[in-house]
Structures are given as structure tokens and as C-alpha cells.
């Protein structure tokens, strides 16, 4: 009976098109990819490099060996209070993170500069400032992961 249920569930999941998201396959023409002005001195640069490496994207330091280069602009992050509690203290905060990127082929833009923006809202305990700042750091790291995945998906959808 248990085996029958497992088989039926597997059949249903496979027939609906469900599949685990594995690594992103970039077009062969994009590899190896040169990272222009992206280094591991910034949190977003480190996250994007980690995402590309984890998805088996071949990276090159030599601009002559590559056709395409990926440029990443400076990350901007804005945090603001969006609601107050009964004690007139901020209870909810919103973080807006924006990262511009561009894919270039030589000196021309293959993907013109685009700004990707994410917004997250979180609750904060006004009595515990340390917890608020730690929560903000965790959310910003998650946003960087999502933004780097979005950049990877944009590169995956690119058709030269």
C-alpha cells in the first residue's frame, strides 16, 4: 500500500512538470565569462561569484579569452520604518536593495544596464536593538542571494 502511494505521488509530480531547481545552464557562448570589476571585497560581489561557481559557470580573468563580460554596479540598501507600535516606536521595517548589472560583448552592451530591486519587510522588537540589527543583516544576506540568483537567471535567458 505504501509503495502504491509513493508511485502515485511520483507519477503525479512528474506529470505536472514539477522538477527540483538544479544548476542553471548558461548558453555555451557565455562561457567562459569574465567578471568585470567584480571582486570579493564587497558582499554582493562575493555572493555573485559564489552563485556562479556553484552553478558551474566557468570564469576567466583574461579578457582576451572571453567574448562576454559581466559588470556589477554598487549595491544600494535603504532601510526605513513603515509602522509604529502603541509606544510610538518603529515596529516594522522595510529594506530595499538595488543592484545594477550589465552584460557586455566587447565594448557594446549585450544586456543593457538593468537595476534589480528587492523589497523585504520584517518585524522588530523595539526593546531589543541587537536583535533588530542581527535580523537586518540576515535579511540583507538573503536578499543578496536572491539578487545573485536573479542575475544568473537573466544570463540563462540570454540568447545571443
**Residue 120 · residue 95 · CB < 8 Å:** yes
- Cα torsion 97, 37, 46, 22: sign: positive
| Domain assignments of the chain as residue spans, ordered by start | 23-157
Mean pLDDT of 28-50: 86
Separation in Å, CA 92 to CA 14, 33, 81, 118, 146: 41, 40, 6, 17, 21
C-alpha cell, 62: 583574461
User: pTM of the predicted model, to two decimals?
Assistant: 0.79
SS3 for the chain, per residue?
Answer: CHHHHHHHHHHHHHHCCCCCCCCCCCCHHHCCEEEECCCCCCHHHHHHHHHHHHCCCCEECCHHHCCEEEEECCCEEEEEEEEECCCCCEEEEEEEEEEEEEEEECCEEEEEEEEEEEEEEEECCCCCHHHHHHHHHHHHHHHHHHHHHHHHHHHHHCCC
Tell me the percentage of the chain whose pLDDT exceeds 90: 38
Q: Give the pLDDT score at 139.
A: 93
Predicted confidence (pLDDT) per residue in 109-125, tens digit: 999 999 999 999 988 77
Predicted confidence (pLDDT) per residue in 52-73, tens digit: 988 888 888 876 766 889 999 9
Fold of 23-157: Double Stranded RNA Binding Domain (3.30.160)
Amino acid at each position: 500500500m505504501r509503495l502504491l502511494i509513493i508511485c502515485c505521488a511520483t507519477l503525479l509530480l512528474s506529470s505536472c512538470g514539477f522538477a527540483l531547481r538544479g544548476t542553471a545552464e548558461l548558453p555555451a557562448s557565455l562561457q567562459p565569462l569574465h567578471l568585470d570589476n567584480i571582486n570579493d571585497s564587497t558582499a554582493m560581489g562575493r555572493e555573485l561569484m559564489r552563485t556562479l561557481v556553484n552553478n558551474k559557470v566557468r570564469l576567466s580573468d583574461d579578457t582576451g579569452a572571453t567574448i562576454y563580460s559581466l559588470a556589477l554596479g554598487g549595491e544600494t540598501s535603504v532601510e526605513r520604518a513603515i509602522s509604529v507600535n502603541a509606544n510610538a516606536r518603529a515596529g516594522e521595517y522595510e529594506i530595499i536593495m538595488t543592484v545594477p548589472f550589465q552584460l557586455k560583448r566587447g565594448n557594446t552592451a549585450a544586456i543593457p544596464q538593468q537595476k534589480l530591486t528587492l523589497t523585504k519587510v520584517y518585524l522588530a522588537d523595539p526593546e531589543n536593538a541587537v536583535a533588530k540589527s542581527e535580523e537586518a543583516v540576515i535579511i540583507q544576506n538573503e536578499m543578496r542571494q536572491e539578487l545573485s540568483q536573479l542575475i544568473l537567471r537573466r544570463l540563462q535567458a540570454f540568447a545571443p
